[in-house]
Amino acid sequence: MQVTYYQLLRQRRISLNLTIEDVSSQTRLDPNFIRAIEEHNLDVFSNDYSFVRYFIHAYCDAIGVNWVVIQPEVDQDIHNFARSKNQALTQAQKKIASSMHPASSSKKKRTKNKSIFKWLSYKISGSYRFSRIIAIGVFALVILVVFNGVSDMMASRQQAAYQAQTEKELAEKEKETTQLAKQFQQEKEKKAMKLEVEDASENIWRIYNLSETKDITFTITLPEESTVAIYMDDQLVSGSETEVYKDKYSDTITVTSDCVIVLEIGTYSENKVTVEGNEIEFNEDNWYLDTPADYTFNVEYNQSKQTDQEEDNSQEAEVEEE
């Protein structure tokens, strides 16, 4: 059985041991909207489906689900839901319009029967009056047909106008959703940690743009058993110089200022190393067999630079006042 996108989101959240409130605090989405997405209760959005894509996109980013993979299913689901709501409304309008016709016909019929019984009760005869009765009946029938035609035409025009307005609103809201998603992605990329090679031959990287991201996660695969040690400014902060690890080692380092982080793998065996999910390659040109493999990271912490700049500005202001 194929798992739907909303089932996938819920399973992913549960596997990460996150509550709906946890996701809400990360995405700033209302918990009721998150719960409605997981339960596929799109009625909560009160026919305003333009932001559903934005909410699901933000939810995916928060729990690590690839939005591009599920986007076609989300778009088709929202389209089908909106169309079913429009069809239900159209059927209700047709039902109301059709219920008006029998009432009018019944009223005309009762009027006609009443007229006939009245004439018969008075026993009026004569070709002139008989022809007049027929003419009145034909005229009433024509009026009824015209009324039915006008009612159907008005209902059709109203339905077409409503459909056109709905499609226009959906197109405008989809455009707005696309713009919001683009802005969301740009803001996310702007705030993301940056990692770039500083000296490939010496395996030195530069980490910067840490104004918000203060934690850096290192993950190392270990095809062979090995020691793993992480140093910050020559101080051991993770791993061990003597304990041997196997399969995989992962830890998160908290950064509070500019520093130099060194990752040392005791027994190098073409290990796969990722920094905040970004895989880096080890250059073996200046490395010797049976020696540890060192990865060096020069970390630039933006907040510390901003604090220094503020202190400099404050000192300059004090000098000017003196």
Report the half-sphere exposure of 8 (CA within 13 A, side-chain side).
17
Assign 302 to helix, strand or coil: helix
What pLDDT is attached to residue 120? 47
Q: What secondary structure letter does DSSP report for 269?
A: S
pLDDT of residue 35: 93
Quickly tell me which residue has 């399973």 as its tokens: 11
Q: What is the model's pLDDT at position 172? A: 78
Structure tokens at 37: 């997405």
**What is the mean pLDDT of the segment spanning 130-140?**
77
Residue type, 76: Q
Which residue's entry shows tokens 């015209």? 146
Say what the pLDDT of residue 51 is: 78
How far apart, in Å, are the Cα atoms of 313 and each of 307, 316, 317, 319?
Answer: 10, 5, 6, 10
Q: What is the pLDDT of residue 318?
A: 57
Judging by DSSP bridges, how do beta strands 228-232 and 235-239 pair with one another? antiparallel
**In the predicted model, what is the mean pLDDT of residues 101-129?**
52
For residue 292, the model assigns a pLDDT of 95
Sheet holding 228-232, edge to edge: 194-199, 204-208, 293-299, 259-265, 228-232, 235-239
Q: 166: closest CA among 37, 50, 45, 41? A: 50
Handedness of CA 278, 284, 288, 290 (dihedral sign): positive
Read off the pLDDT of residues 166-191 as tens digits, 9 standing for 90 and up.
788 777 777 776 677 677 667 766 66
Place of tokens 């009160």: 46
Per DSSP, the residues of 90-138 read: HHHHHHHHHHHHHHHHHHHHHHHHHHHHHHHHHT---HHHHHHHHHHHH
Q: What is the DSSP letter of 3?
A: P
Per-residue pLDDT band for 202 (boundaries 50, 70, 90) equals very high
Mean pLDDT for the chain? 82
Q: Which H or E run includes 308?
A: helix 302-321
User: 57-98 pLDDT, tens per residue?
Assistant: 999 999 999 999 999 999 999 888 888 888 877 877 777 777
Per residue in 19-57, pLDDT (tens digit) is 999 999 988 899 999 999 999 988 887 766 777 888 999
Asked whether residue 137 carries a pLDDT value surpassing 50, the answer given is yes
Amino acid (1-letter code) at residue 203: N
- Specify the residue for token string 């959703």: 177
| pTM higher than 0.85 | no
Residue 244: predicted pLDDT: 94
Q: Do the beta carbons of residue 75 and residue 43 sit within 8 Å?
A: no
Average pLDDT score over residue span 232-251: 94
% of the chain surpassing 70 pLDDT: 78
Check whether 307 has a pLDDT greater than 50: no
Sign of CA dihedral 185, 187, 192, 195: positive
Residue 169 corresponds to which tokens in the numbers above?
Answer: 């609103």
Residue 147 pLDDT > 60, yes or no? yes
The domains located in the chain, with CATH, are 1-191 (no CATH), 194-307 (2.60.40)
Q: Where are the alpha helices (DSSP H) in 125-196?
A: 127-191
pLDDT for position 272 = 95
Strands 273-275 and 245-254: unpaired
Q: Which of 13, 107, 3, 17 is nearest to 63 (CA)?
A: 13
d(CA 211, CA 192): 9
| Angstrom distance (rounded) from CA 266 to CA 22 | 38
The reported pLDDT for the residue numbered 118 is 54
* Residues facing 231 on adjacent strands: 236, 262
pLDDT, residue 158, reads 84
CA-angle at 4, arms to 166 and 60, nearest 5°? 80
CA–CA distance, 18 with 249 (Å, rounded to integer): 23
The answer, yes or no, to whether residue 102 has pLDDT greater than 60, is no
Mean pLDDT is lowest, of 170-174, 262-266, 294-298, for 170-174
Q: Name the pLDDT band for 234 (thresholds 50, 70, 90).
A: very high
Cα Rg for the chain, rounded, in angstroms? 37
Average pLDDT estimate for 137-165: 81
Least confident of 64-73, 102-111, 140-149, 150-159: 102-111
